[in-house]
């Protein structure tokens, strides 16, 4: 893997990264974690700036980008929709051109995938998708890192996502699983199934990597899972669907009996967080011995740092 191949690249989804490239970023993330844990301090973003645009709220993503960049000597600038004109008085294209002249890289969290793609096309600097309605790519690298730490490998594992199969996390997990040879099963009510278009897009990657992609409404689909993953029933921006989601998803709660239905004592529980305890997951499961959610949260920072080190020109690994 030539590190130069990452320089200047954006991350809007994992679709345009090869399996080898994703595995390389995974290795860098693991190396960064070891480095942080050893207490080694470095200043690889000195003289660099990061624009962090947030249309939606965030704890982990914001803090991961801001601390990963800042502690390496870079200057992160947080920009909410109260601060900038993005898409309102000023077009996304013009905002991208201006920020691209002032910043070394841009992070965007918001509603439309088209916004982050326009920023990536127009800014001339790396743009990172910190979550849109459709995708959450930085999250799933941390998830896969957590699997690697737990099982020592990722290819051949069975990852089972239970809940809203249409959401950003479920969809990004499908892409990264297909690329990395992880058997991925989505268990969701038929009204909330992952769209056929994404499944069709992932199919050739899965064929190449040996991943099996399955979508079912049947809870017995969790059998044999190495990891059970869930996410909130109501994603940001969909608050008006709360009652409908509770009705559809109540049978899909991850509780002790569903964890037992995996029939695998080594099965771990994953959640991107924030969690609504008592809805998609019980307190017993999320606080229980099989839960790895706090490792996942920590790994957001190491993976995001690795992505920035690899892609921002003139720093870190390139
Ligand atoms: N998992 C995640 O993206 O968390 P935040 O919404 O807090 O950033
Ligand atoms: N699906 C959730 C993920 C939060 C990190 C949401 O979009 O709100």
Domain ranges of the chain: 3-135+299-311, 139-297
Which of 318, 233, 239 has its CA nearest to residue 278? 233
Please identify, by atom number, the ligand 1 atom nearest to the C-alpha of residue 62.
8
Looking at residue 169, what is its pLDDT?
A: 99
Please identify, by atom number, the ligand 1 atom nearest to the C-alpha of residue 300.
1
Looking at residue 316, what is its pLDDT?
A: 52
Looking at residue 3, what is its pLDDT?
A: 87
Architecture of domain 139-297: 3-Layer(aba) Sandwich (3.40)
For the record, the structure tokens of 87 come out as: 């898409």
Calculate the alpha carbon distances from 31 to 57, 79, 197 in Å. Answer: 29, 30, 36
- How many angstroms is it from 92 CA to the middle of ligand 2? 23
Q: Taking the complete model, does pTM exceed 0.95, yes or no?
A: yes
* Regions of the chain where pLDDT drops below 50: 318
The Cβ of residue 257 has, within 10 Å, a number of other Cβ atoms equal to 10
Q: Which CATH number fits domain 3-135+299-311: 3.40.50.1370, 3.30.70.20, 3.20.20.70, 3.20.20.450?
A: 3.40.50.1370
- How many angstroms is it from 134 CA to the middle of ligand 2? 10
Looking at residue 1, what is its pLDDT?
A: 82
Same fold? 3-135+299-311, 139-297? yes
- Integer Cα distance of 144 and 296 in angstroms: 9
Q: What is the CA radius of gyration of the chain?
A: 19
Ligand nearest to the CA of 271: 1
Tell me which DSSP letter residue 58 carries.
-
Please identify, by atom number, the ligand 1 atom nearest to the C-alpha of residue 236.
6
For the record, the structure tokens of 265 come out as: 């004592």
Helix, strand, coil percentages, rounded to 5, for the chain: 45, 15, 40
Residues in contact with ligand 1 by the CB-under-6-Å rule are 58-61, 131, 139, 272-274
Minimum CA distance residue for ligand 2 atom 8: 235
Query: Please, how many CA atoms are within 13 Å of residue 223, restricted to the half-sphere of its CB?
Result: 5
- How many angstroms is it from 256 CA to the middle of ligand 2? 23
Residues in contact with ligand 2 by the CB-under-6-Å rule are 131, 167-169, 231-232, 235-236, 272
- Tell whether the torsion through CA atoms of 305, 309, 310 and 312 is positive or negative: positive
- Integer Cα distance of 189 and 6 in angstroms: 39
Looking at residue 292, what is its pLDDT?
A: 98
Please identify, by atom number, the ligand 1 atom nearest to the C-alpha of residue 57.
6
Could you tell me if 309 and 286 are in contact, meaning their C-beta atoms sit under 8 angstroms apart?
Answer: no
Which residue numbers are catalytic? 109, 136, 139, 231, 272, 300
Ligand nearest to the CA of 132: 2
Q: Among 55, 57, 58, say which to mutate for ligand 1: greatest number of ligand atoms within 8 Å of CB.
A: 58
Looking at residue 87, what is its pLDDT?
A: 83
């Amino acid at each position: 893997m030539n590190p130069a191949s990452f320089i200047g690249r954006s991350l809007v989804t994992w679709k345009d990264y090869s399996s080898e490239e994703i595995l390389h970023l995974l290795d860098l993330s693991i190396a960064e974690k070891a480095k942080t844990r050893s207490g080694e301090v470095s200043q690889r973003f000195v003289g660099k700036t990061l624009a962090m645009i947030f249309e939606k709220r965030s704890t982990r993503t914001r803090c991961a980008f801001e601390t990963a960049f800042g502690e390496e000597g870079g200057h992160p600038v947080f920009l909410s929709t109260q601060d900038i004109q993005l898409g309102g008085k000023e077009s996304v294209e013009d905002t991208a051109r201006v920020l691209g002249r002032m910043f070394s890289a841009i992070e965007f969290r918001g509603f439309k995938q088209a916004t982050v793609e326009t920023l990536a096309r127009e800014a001339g600097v790396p743009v990172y998708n910190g979550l849109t309605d459709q995708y959450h790519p930085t999250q799933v690298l941390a998830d896969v890192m957590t699997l690697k730490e737990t099982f020592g490998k990722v290819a051949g594992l069975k990852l089972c996502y239970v809940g809203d199969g249409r959401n950003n996390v479920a969809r990004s997990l499908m892409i990264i699983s297909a690329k990395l040879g992880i058997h991925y099963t989505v268990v969701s009510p038929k009204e909330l199934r992952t769209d056929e278009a994404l499944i069709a897009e992932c199919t050739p990657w899965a064929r190449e990597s040996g991943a099996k992609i399955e979508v079912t409404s049947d809870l017995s689909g969790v059998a044999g899972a190495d990891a059970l993953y869930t996410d909130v029933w109501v994603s940001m921006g969909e608050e008006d669907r709360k009652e409908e989601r509770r009705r559809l998803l109540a049978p899909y709660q991850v509780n002790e009996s569903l964890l037992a239905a995996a029939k695998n004592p080594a099965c771990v529980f994953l959640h991107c967080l924030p969690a609504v305890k008592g809805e998609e997951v019980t307190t017993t499961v999320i606080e229980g011995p099989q839960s790895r959610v706090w490792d996942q949260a920590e790994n957001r920072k190491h993976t995001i740092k690795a992505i920035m080190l690899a892609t921002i020109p003139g720093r870190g690994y390139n």
